[in-house]
Amino acid sequence: EDQVTQSPEALRLQEGESSSLNCSYTVSGLRGLFWYRQDPGKGPEFLFTLYSAGEEKEKERLKATLTKKESFLHITAPKPEDSATYLCAALSGNTGKLIFGQGTTLQVKP
């Protein structure tokens, strides 16, 4: 069964304290691994797509990496405005559906 698991469920950081969020996946025929940011009461906002193991993408303080079993979202020197829920989702090539993880809620304190 296709499954995506994110950890930790919640993460509290001090401003400037770097960390990583994990996304483990078991998906048949993976066609892409997506990271989204979701603010309360809003729809998910696209961050990155990774297509193959070893691929990395960066945007400001965020860097996403991908292996054959998991993806990491590294946050370097976070700021309070980075506080949000981060969702990862795997696109199944067999079904064409995005399978979402439960999300990691990040809180960055000044």
Partner 1 sequence: GAVVSQHPSRVICKSGTSVKIECRSLDFQATTMFWYRQFPKQSLMLMATSNEGSKATYEQGVEKDKFLINHASLTLSTLTVTSAHPEDSSFYICSARDQTSWDTEAFFGQGTRLTVV
The residues of the shown chain that bind partner 1, judged by CB under 8 A, are 31-32, 34, 36, 41-46, 49, 51, 87, 91, 93, 96-98, 100-103, 105
Q: How far apart are the first and last CA of the chain?
A: 41
Q: Whole-number minimum distance, CB 81 to partner 1, in Å? A: 19
What six digits make up the tokens of 50?
């990774």
Q: Whole-number minimum distance, CB 67 to partner 1, in Å? A: 19
User: Which CB sits closer to partner 1, 18 or 107?
Assistant: 107
User: Which CB sits closer to partner 1, 8 or 51?
Assistant: 51
Burial track 41-65 (b if 16+ CB lie within 10 A, e otherwise): eeebeebbbbeeeeeeeeeeebbbb
User: Which CB sits closer to partner 1, 96 or 110?
Assistant: 96
CA distance 69 to 28: 12
